[in-house]
Chains A and B, each alone.
Chain A
Amino acid sequence: MKKLTLLLLFLIVLAGGFLRLYNLSNSPPSLNWDEAALGYNAYSISETGKDEYRVKFPIFTRSFDEYKSAIPIYLMIPSIKIFGLNEFGVRFPSAIAGTLLIIIIFFLAKYFFSDNKIALVSSMLFAVEPWTILFSRTYHEANWALFFLFLGILLLLHAPKKPALLALSIIPLGVSMYSYNASKILVPLFVAVFIYVRRDFLKKLSRRLKYISLFLTLAFIIPFIYLAVIGQAFARIGPTNILVLWPKEGPIYYRVFLFVWDIVGRYFSYFSPPNLFLREPSEPGTIVSGNSVFYAFEFLPIFVGLFSVLIRTKKYKELSTLILLAPIPAVVTWNWFQPGRVMALLSMFSILAGFGIVRIIDFITNVFKEFVTPRLSQTVIYLTLVIYVGLSALYVFDSTQVLLPIRDNGGWQPGFRETVPAVMTIFGKYQKVVVDTPHTQPHIFYLFYGKYPPQRYHQELDLEKIGTPRKLYDFGEFNFRKINWEKDKDLPNTLFVGNDENLPNNDVSISTKVDFVQDIWDWRGFKVARLVGTK
């Protein structure tokens, strides 16, 4: 590789890393449920070797009964050990994975198109696209799964030239399959197509390599099948599958017709230009506020890139396969458009955008070659592109640092970050703590922000009492329920965590049995909780 290419790649990675790492603790403004759960489980495993539910070194952890993959949890442990149990400690590994993905995208694009220019433009776009920035700035299992998926694919693609890589590729592909639900479907599909397409190469493999590869594959698949049978590996598919949309009324053929419409609609919604370039996905935590998934200027290059690839499917077999298969994991769920489930497709779009841009620029320089030398026109166009992409990066930087915390604070389970530490400093003085919050599964934030000792939590957790699926979130002195102040004010020695409505100001201030402790305010100056104790 030329030195200039390396230097440019380094600069791109630097810029991408900055966008992913800067002010990671405060944007997004607080941890969401999944981040807190993953973080606390990592803490618990690192301290005790057991997860939140006392399971020793799990592969899938129960969490909110959706059985999260434990691999991202293990990957978080070093960061938690170094930076502590806080937002930065939780998010840092994801930001690093997102930054490393920029390099992987470079090599993938280089493999597909054998062109450094395309690879550089693709990685530049990937480094600054809104969707990749948000998924790197939050700890989302999908980000690690994507990292391992592409690492595995990259090794697999190079395997025909270096056969030993075949066996090596099985490890990241297997890890990806264990890391996130979308990979559980995509990895087997892609590998099956690869085996079919490259069957000639596979036939030529040495017997030893074949056995090693088979052994590694079985080592991943057999436990996976077992975990699927006992209901852990595909636990999430239960509540999210598309069958919930099966029409309840009408003749059967009409219901089938509507259902087919639903499925086809979902598949193509991931190729829908307004979804990709205009609309902000409405699910919290799926995109940077004020941005769509991609920048609008990428529409034309992606369009050009997509069809340039699809008309040469024989040349771009693996790329076309990835593009066509990638939406399938999302299509089997009821969500209309959920970027987190199609990150492999979105990454391919980044590569296509790079390919499209280079083709468009080549076309323009070719058209005007009689008037301007191609070298000059290319230099001018690429410089303009870099400037425009730089401004777009600045725009998305402002969106993450300013707009996201201001506008979408509510989507990130606000209030716990400020409230829990305050509660934790005084809860020892009381027999009981009653917490009234509109958020479900609030216990995880008390465990996380309170850095609640896992050993103590394991002792206090009554697995029979909480039920399956979990309905009760109480532990130790903590009781999560509605406050009925008229009745509850007579409870002795109890700390109440509520708000102005359930802990009315007048009553609290005049009652002799009650001590007003404090009001908690967030960084914007909004009151997020009121602490009141009884004597």
Chain B
Amino acid sequence: MRSKILFLILGIFILYFLPRISLDFPITFGEAKEAYTSYSIVKTGRDTNGDLPGLFFRADNDYLSTLGVYFRIPFIYILGLNNLSVRLPGILIGPLALYVFYTLIRLILPKNTSIISTLLLAFSPYFTQINIFYLDSTLALTTIFFALLYYKKKNTYTFLLFCTLAGLSSFYTWPAVLVLVISYYYVNGKKKQVYYCLTTTFLISVVLLKTNLQLGNFLIRESIVRDLLPSSYTFEIDKRLSFGQIVSSPLVTPKFNYNRLAFNKAYFGLTEFFKALVRPFDYEILTSSFQAQTILAKERVDSFALPKVFFWEVPLIFLGIIIFLKSKYKNLKILFLAVAVSLVFFKEKVFYLALPIIVWLNSLSLDYILQIRRTVIGRVILVVLVLLFVGSYSDFIYRLRTQAYSWGEPSDVAQYQIWNILNKEGFDRRKTVVTDRLGDPAFYYLFYNRIDPYFFQQNKVLSQTFIAEKTRILKVGEVEFRSFKYDDSPKGENEIWVGLPGEFIGKKEDFSTIEQIPGGQIVGKIESVKQANKLFGHELWFVKPNSE
């Protein structure tokens, strides 16, 4: 018996760590910003803006996970600034999250269901991705689990402590945390505290938004508020109204334009709100189903994205919802509500909070199937599910380990390749210009080159106006980050220009045969770069200007 358990634990251990053995994937934008902020604190005692570490960290007008920055500090201090030190904290917190998750659901669900839930969470492809790439989400999930645990245990102070930590892990958890706190007091009959909570939240929000405009803008930008603002849809309203005028819509009469009844800010605002409710539930993106959105393609169109939920889990989730609604697990309802509020407010960005719910729904279904395992249909379903699990888990690990360039964010992959080539080839260069058409390169540069934070502080040039609603880093020392027209740009000797083919020779349909360009020499190429404008080409060129 004991050897069986040991064998099982060993198996789980191997399966859990298999996708996490190597962490050498291209760094994500969020990781680069958080890690470099931690690095800056380690080296200078201040963040990238030169401020003393406090409750909030800002980079590029994006607010970072406070806990994420602090958690990485010891790892970066010991291991230096690299992929391992950035990702190890998440990997280590993963098992803790699983343990707390199990402890929590044991209070709510039967033992079998709890074990199944925990195993499903451990092997969930979404949890694996969160664990490796999103420390903020891993921390948020763990602290929310802790908060729920103490919610159940009615330990007010510890509950509040973990709610605070969850809030500091990720801004996206704020609505969920608020719901948890309010419901905690409401359920425990402390209605006065509910009013205090609401008033305090309101006051803090007003003070924060008034005193910290950048934080306010960040929260608006990231949340549903932005979708509801008229600026998001006035263009569409104007376009549709003008179409009505052009083709003499029957709704446009000399006395009144009846189009205005539907094409107005109130109607569009409300409709945008309803649309925002739908967006997080993109089943196709979550499962990375083949051919999603390509209904005209008769040929197989393979999806390169990593799945967040295995496709065969979808029927289980449906069944789980039915079992859940029938069984009336009241204790879970509050988490449903908290997640729903967060999803409404921060849309798909906070979908990771729905992960425990997905896992629970799955395990409810599996528990039901296990109960009927002695019937023929039960056995067939179980065998099919085991086969599908083995197939999809191996497929997931295979994709994760071998196809990072396919499933990675195009900007992360491109920046990884750019700085790898520039650092490895060791081009003799006085100045470097890197295009920002593939995302903002500054923090990738700072990360991959481990730029001294003091140097960064003294030599950075920021944009004076907002670019895509952000203050961007335009230059650090002799490295510039901007799109360019190579022909029109002043160039000098010992420079390297990195950009899309279209930036060097103008827009074209095909760049594959070009080896020479006027005014420079192509010294390196990266092929198969994913970017939206095909007339700029799908390559990255490293060009050395000719000496005059």
What CA separation (Å) do A176 and B70 show in the bound complex?
66
Contacts of B312 in A (CB 8 A): 260, 264
**A244-B298, A277-B275, A296-B277 in contact; A261/B240 too (CB < 8 A)?**
no
B189 within 8 A of partner (CB): no
What CA separation (Å) do A245 and B485 show in the bound complex?
44
* Interface-facing stretch out of A33-41, A152-160, A196-204, A386-394: A386-394
Contacts of A254 in B (CB 8 A): 391, 395
Contacts of B259 in A (CB 8 A): 394, 398
Contact A299 B274 (CB under 8 A): yes
Q: Which residue of A23, A258, A264, A338 is within 8 Å of B295 (Cβ)? A: A338
Nearest A residue to B282, CB-CB: A274
Contacts of A262 in B (CB 8 A): 290-291, 300
What CA separation (Å) do A347 and B298 show in the bound complex?
27
Contacts of B246 in A (CB 8 A): 406
What CA separation (Å) do A334 and B300 show in the bound complex?
9
Q: How far is the CB of B242 from chain A (nearest CB, A)?
A: 10
**A336-B292, A391-B261 in contact; A406/B287 too (CB < 8 A)?**
no
B289 within 8 A of partner (CB): yes
- Which residues of chain B in 43-101 are interfacial with respect to chain A, using CB atoms and an 8 Å cutoff? none
Q: Which residue of B267, B325, B388 is within 8 Å of A311 (Cβ)? A: B325
Contacts of B274 in A (CB 8 A): 277, 295-297, 299-300
Q: Which residue of A22, A269, A310, A398 is within 8 Å of B244 (Cβ)? A: A398
Contact B325 A264 (CB under 8 A): no
Nearest A residue to B272, CB-CB: A296
What CA separation (Å) do A297 and B246 show in the bound complex?
30
B242-278: CB near A (< 8 Å → 1, else 0) gives 0110110111000000110111000100110011011
Contact A394 B294 (CB under 8 A): no
Contact A402 B391 (CB under 8 A): no
Nearest A residue to B245, CB-CB: A402
B374 within 8 A of partner (CB): no
Interface of A is mostly: helix
Contacts of B314 in A (CB 8 A): 264, 268
Nearest A residue to B246, CB-CB: A406
Q: How far is the CB of A125 from chain B (nearest CB, A)?
A: 14
Contact A283 B283 (CB under 8 A): no
B430 within 8 A of partner (CB): no
Q: How far is the CB of B132 from chain A (nearest CB, A)?
A: 24
A332 within 8 A of partner (CB): no
Contact A336 B294 (CB under 8 A): yes
A401 within 8 A of partner (CB): yes
Contact B289 A269 (CB under 8 A): yes
Contact A282 B295 (CB under 8 A): yes
Nearest B residue to A524, CB-CB: B247
**A335-B295, A394-B258 in contact; A273/B283 too (CB < 8 A)?**
yes
A271 within 8 A of partner (CB): yes
A272 within 8 A of partner (CB): yes
Contacts of B315 in A (CB 8 A): 264, 268
Q: Which residue of A247, A260, A388, A401 is within 8 Å of B270 (Cβ)? A: A388
What CA separation (Å) do A283 and B291 show in the bound complex?
14
Q: Which residue of B247, B281, B293, B298 is within 8 Å of A334 (Cβ)? A: B298
Contacts of B332 in A (CB 8 A): none
- Which residues of chain A in 240-261 are interfacial with respect to chain B, using CB atoms and an 8 Å cutoff? 244-245, 247, 253-254, 257-258, 260-261
- Which residues of chain A in 273-329 are interfacial with respect to chain B, using CB atoms and an 8 Å cutoff? 273-275, 277-279, 281-283, 290, 295-297, 299-300, 307, 310-311
What are the 5 closest A-B residue pairs judged by CB atoms, nearest first?
A296-B274, A265-B289, A394-B262, A272-B283, A273-B281
Residues of B at the A interface (CB closer than 8 Å) are 240, 243-244, 246-247, 249-251, 258-259, 261-263, 267, 270-271, 274-275, 277-279, 281-284, 287, 289-296, 298, 300, 311-312, 314-315, 318, 321-322, 325-326, 388, 391-392, 395
